[in-house]
Structure 1
Amino acid sequence: MRDGHGSTDAYCVAKYGQKWVRTRTIVDTHSPKLNEQYTWEVYDPCSVITLGVFDNCHLGGGKKATAGTAARDSRIGKVRIRLSTLEAQRIYTHSYPLLVLHTHGVNKMGELQLAVRFTSLSLANMIYIYGKPLLPKMHYLRPFTVNQIESLRYQAMNIVAGRLGRAEPPLRKEVVEYMLDVDSNMWSMRRSKANFFRIMSLFSGIITIGQWFSQFCNWKSPITSVLVHILFLILICYPELILPTLFLYMFLIGVWNYRFRTRNPPHMDTKLSWAEAVHPDELDEEFDTFPTSTPQDVVRMRYDKLRSVAGRIQTVVADIPTQGERFHSLLSWRDTRATSLFVVFSLCSAVVLYATPPKVVAMVTGVYYLRHPKFRSKLPSVLINFFKRLPARTDSML
């Protein structure tokens, strides 16, 4: 680990629950060795322990005091370890990269060598905790609003910072804020992009299933499509096998993925955080003070950029109520011809479904959607065309 002067006066802070610990400061060295051991009583195996490394500003390191700012302990890096990712009774020895995001980009300040061991006296009690509520009963009977939670969180941070500032050795307020991620709710274009790609990654499984289904429907692999048809017909003839087959499939996936499980707890991921290809202006905006201290022309440029991004988001969000209003207009008689057609269609469907066994309906529907491409049209179906022609309330908006 090193700062701009080539060495550090490093110390480490660890936090779990209400217990905070601070190691001694190792003065003027590139590779400080702490060799300290601490123990916490785990109240929930699904919680997180946080460790941060800092450069002491009182011993020559950190950010020096200037005319307008006070001396601050510089951040060297932070590590979070979720206890549920640790196997019981096993010692994990691993080097975690210490990454810090600055206005000029992400920097690797060094590595933190840790030895972590998670022990449990009762496996049954640990499994029981997985089914318990995360919060006390009153949090569900009388829940707080979002603003109340943010206010209480800020007040709790100030109380903790004041208490730890009076400890010996003291912990400065910037250290407590960094350990508690106080600025995590502030606007950041980088975090917004990272969360967007997290959403896309979340839905990638559904997209993959849709692509597989499209391949079956288009008969790109005739043998696979025939097998899917056979499996579908078996499940239709024996519907009691659907749920057992589904859970058996998930069991097999879980057993197969066991061999690919991570051997060490995950660390800070620069790719997931979208910190590798971030624009310098976005970083400068992220580290800007609140309220802003940036020149007016830069603020105007960022505001225009934010408006363009928000405009695209607004377009996507506005499409959601549009589809819902079209669905609602099926029976609202706003378009009398469309509603008449749908009412007649509903009556005919009710008569047909009442007289036809459910297995036959499901079989015909499945075979229709899995039909060969020779019997398909590249144009949208009649139902989709009908739905897209339904009126929405966008016509009444200014």
Structure 2
Amino acid sequence: MAPEKKEEDFSLKETSPNIGKGRVSGRERLTSSFDLVEEMEFLYIRLVKGRDFQSTSDPFVEVQIGNYKGTTRHFDRKPNPEWHQVFAFAKNHLQALSVEILVKDKMASNDRLGKISIDMSDIPKHVHPDSPLAPQWYKLEGENGLMARGELMFAIWWGTQADEAFSDAWHSDAAAVSGESLMNCRSKVYVSPKLWYLRVNVIEAQDLVPIEMNRTDPEVYVRAVFGTNVLRSRVSPNKSLNPSWNEDLIFVAAEPFGDPLVLTVEDKVDDLTGHCLGRLVMPLAKAEKSFLPTLVAAEWHNLERVDTNVKFASRICLRVSLDGGYHVFDEAISQTSDFRATMKELWTPAIGVLELGILNAKGLLPMKSKFGNGTTDAYCVAKYGNKWVRTRTVVDSFDPNWNEQYNWEVYDPYTVLTLVVFDNCHLQPGEAKDSRIGKVRIRLSTLKTDRIYTHSYPLVALYPNGVKKMGEIQLAVRFTCSSLFNLLQTYTQPLLPKMHYIHPFSVNQLERLRHQAAQSVSLQLSRAEPPLRKEVVEYVLDLGSQTWSLRRGKANFARITGVLTGFLAAWRWFNGIRQWKSPTATIGVFSIYAILIYFPEMILPTLLLFLFGTGIFKYKKRPRLPPHMDIKLSYAHKAHPDELDEEFDTFPSSKQGQILTARYDRLRIIGTRMVMLLGDSATQLERLWSLLSWRDPRATAMFTLFCLIAAIVIYFIPLRIMLILAGGFVMRPPTFRIDIPALPQNFFNRLPTKEDLMF
């Protein structure tokens, strides 16, 4: 028999890394800026410049330590070259006793111009945060041990990843990478561009001249173009040459403002095209910045005419403003890492600091093939607020060690830190996209303050052929609170800036603007050096989360069912009481009910004490681990291959024929069930409304007469007696019950609805 396939472990694991030099416990707070990572020692060599080399040489420097070799760029016939390059060699990989720094001539087949040899024991140690070690001039030695011509300025020291030279250094674990690709291996910090909502309020236009001079009822609209985004106003309701709209067209603008706003007034020809009646090009530098709910002043602008024979200019009245009172969403609202408005004047003080230590990864899967063998060149990207960080790329390793630490200011605990792991596919020439390995999200409100969380998170990726564990990543996280009072006060404040409540956007508007914002962020970060590429930014921002997914629909339905489970359990318990399964419990519950009815002032305190006791009782069962990506909650482990293939399909669909027909039929079945559910809900609400609508005169008459009799009875009989009788009727023994529906239910089910009026 074939051995059973071992089930993959997608759970979160607590770890005990050697961070803070072994002085860190779960609750200990340290003051070092690099206490959340394991210390890694590097031998740093900063090559600055040389002088007095032979004028006919093309000098470059080669650093050799055992089998490791690093090379600078060369200069053509330059006796005084300047390199300003840093080399970093991991200490745990070094076995040599000395460092050799060779100056060679590229033109003369790499002939040696001189060398400098330094013993490992003579190299000084640099301790952060001391100032950088000053470089010095060293004389070159020739082949025969005599002094050669020329000098070399450099600095050499032992340091750690806390050294300021770490991020810009050439690392020995990337020795196979050279040229321009080396830049893609370095760790960097990026900042998202400042985003604004550009509001264009189109009010009216005057003195338009139509293309067809005999046309008296033009259908005029305004087309607004900003960058690659195009919006169109509705056709003016007054079909004249002086149209009016009073309509808002909203874009997302990123600083620095490069593209102008282009407005064209057009006369509709068909649904897609129109004749241009005038054009306005407006640089955003002229737009007024505002964060108040008041409107900016309206201004008239002359329109450029296409027909130059016209001797007078048409005009358009606009309000153009950059609204800084909103938070511009580039992430999904439920997973955002920042809620601050664009204008800094509206920011509240920071309440704490988030520190993240990216330690290492274990068991990564091969992502590409190199020389016939599988390999992975992994790096991490983390985002919180407007700050993005990228670790260095560890080349050709399934168990990379990064040990890099970053921090962010925190303004709201209801925010999410997002971290993704990618395989770097730009270490060799080519246009391949970086491959995603996995994602981790951590919500700050689930973390205790001043505690270090060290866990190994599973890296999970969803593919058309199913869910797959790509490895694990070990993180150290700490949320430090500067003031507990300020932290608790944020729970009482509005989540979004004030403008979101005064002038809210619709759901469709927010989603469209979020896509614009994400594209703006992606464009700006892709222009950095090294670039943070589009596929990485879109994966961090979860840009494709709103596409159709049957798997996600099932998962959301299961979430609703899970929430209702508690109510269903309470109903089952109460039904057991009603059925007298335990006479003692039923009598006790009815006795408590009777006491509360006779002493109504005890109802609310009793309910609050019950909730207090429940909270205290559940404290022992509180979650011990921070939440993590759950494949069972996402229904990723149960998804059918065809459902996943549909989820990864492009939009519009790239499928044809029978596959597309089958999926459309399945979507119709799901849609039919949703329509039936909406119809049933509408039916029940219409029955409730028809109690007093006189759609059924007899039913309404009976209900109004019942209300009159009930009012008289309740007036003469005390309310507590009525409630006791009602409770006794509900909890009567099963012997006195009947199995058919009760009278109120029968009456309600006979009330008329509008369902019979529909086609």
TM-score norm. by structure 1 comes to: 0.96
The correspondence for 1:112, drawn from 459, 469, 473, is 473
SS of the equivalent of 2:406 reads: coil
Q: Which amino acid aligns with 1:88?
A: T
Q: Which amino acid aligns with 2:388?
A: W
Residue 26 (str. 1) matches residue 26 (str. 2): no
Question: Counterparts in 2 of 1:206-355, with a 5 A limit?
Answer: 206-355=567-716
How far apart are 1:260 and its partner, in Å? 1.2
> Following the alignment from structure 2 to structure 1, what is the Cα–Cα distance between the partners of residues 676 and 366?
46
More displaced stretch, 7-16 vs 201-210: 201-210
How far apart are 1:85 and its partner, in Å? 0.6
**1:151-203 alpha-carbon deviations (Å, 9 max, x no partner):** 21111101111121122321110111100010111110001100011111111
Q: Which amino acid aligns with 1:105?
A: G
**Match in the other structure for 2:164:** none
**Match in the other structure for 2:446:** 85
> Following the alignment from structure 2 to structure 1, what is the Cα–Cα distance between the partners of residues 583 and 422?
61
Q: Which amino acid aligns with 1:59?
A: L
> Following the alignment from structure 1 to structure 2, what is the Cα–Cα distance between the partners of residues 145 and 345?
44
**1:62-117 alpha-carbon deviations (Å, 9 max, x no partner):** xx97xxxx511111000000001110111000000000000000000000100101
Question: Counterparts in 2 of 1:352-363, with a 5 A limit?
Answer: 352-363=713-724
Comparing both structures, which one devotes a greater share of its residues to helix? 1
Question: Counterparts in 2 of 1:373-388, with a 5 A limit?
Answer: 373-388=734-749
> Following the alignment from structure 2 to structure 1, what is the Cα–Cα distance between the partners of residues 393 and 534?
17
Higher relative contact order (CA 8 A, sep 6+): 1
Write out the 4+ residue segments of structure 1 that deviate beyond 3 Å after TM superposition.
none
SS of the equivalent of 1:182 reads: coil
Residue 37 (str. 1) matches residue 405 (str. 2): yes
Q: Which amino acid aligns with 1:3?
A: P
SS of the equivalent of 1:40 reads: strand
How far apart are 1:396 and its partner, in Å? 0.7
How far apart are 1:318 and its partner, in Å? 0.5
> Following the alignment from structure 1 to structure 2, what is the Cα–Cα distance between the partners of residues 333 and 147?
39
RMSD of aligned residue pairs (Cα, Å): 1.2
SS of the equivalent of 2:514 reads: helix
How far apart are 1:378 and its partner, in Å? 1.1
SS of the equivalent of 1:190 reads: helix
Residue 8 (str. 1) matches residue 376 (str. 2): yes
> Following the alignment from structure 1 to structure 2, what is the Cα–Cα distance between the partners of residues 3 and 259?
42
> Following the alignment from structure 1 to structure 2, what is the Cα–Cα distance between the partners of residues 113 and 168?
27
Q: Which amino acid aligns with 1:24?
A: R
How far apart are 1:331 and its partner, in Å? 1.5
The correspondence for 1:57, drawn from 425, 435, 438, is 425
**1:290-337 alpha-carbon deviations (Å, 9 max, x no partner):** 111112321111000000111111111101110111112211222122
Aligned-pair identity in percent equals 56
How far apart are 1:123 and its partner, in Å? 0.2
SS of the equivalent of 1:332 reads: coil
SS of the equivalent of 2:561 reads: helix
Q: Which amino acid aligns with 1:383?
A: P
> Following the alignment from structure 2 to structure 1, what is the Cα–Cα distance between the partners of residues 559 and 484?
33
Q: Which amino acid aligns with 1:353?
A: I
Q: Which amino acid aligns with 1:116?
A: V
Unaligned runs of 5+ in 2: 1-363
**1:127-157 alpha-carbon deviations (Å, 9 max, x no partner):** 0001111111111000012222122111110
**Match in the other structure for 2:88:** none
Q: Which amino acid aligns with 2:365?
A: R
> Following the alignment from structure 2 to structure 1, what is the Cα–Cα distance between the partners of residues 544 and 445?
26
Residue 370 (str. 1) matches residue 738 (str. 2): no
**Match in the other structure for 2:500:** 139
Q: Which amino acid aligns with 1:309?
A: I
SS of the equivalent of 1:77 reads: strand
> Following the alignment from structure 1 to structure 2, what is the Cα–Cα distance between the partners of residues 59 and 90?
38
TM-score norm. by structure 2 comes to: 0.51
SS of the equivalent of 2:650 reads: coil
> Following the alignment from structure 2 to structure 1, what is the Cα–Cα distance between the partners of residues 757 and 403?
69
SS of the equivalent of 2:471 reads: strand
Q: Which amino acid aligns with 1:196?
A: F
**Match in the other structure for 1:101:** 462
Unaligned runs of 5+ in 1: none
Larger radius of gyration: 2
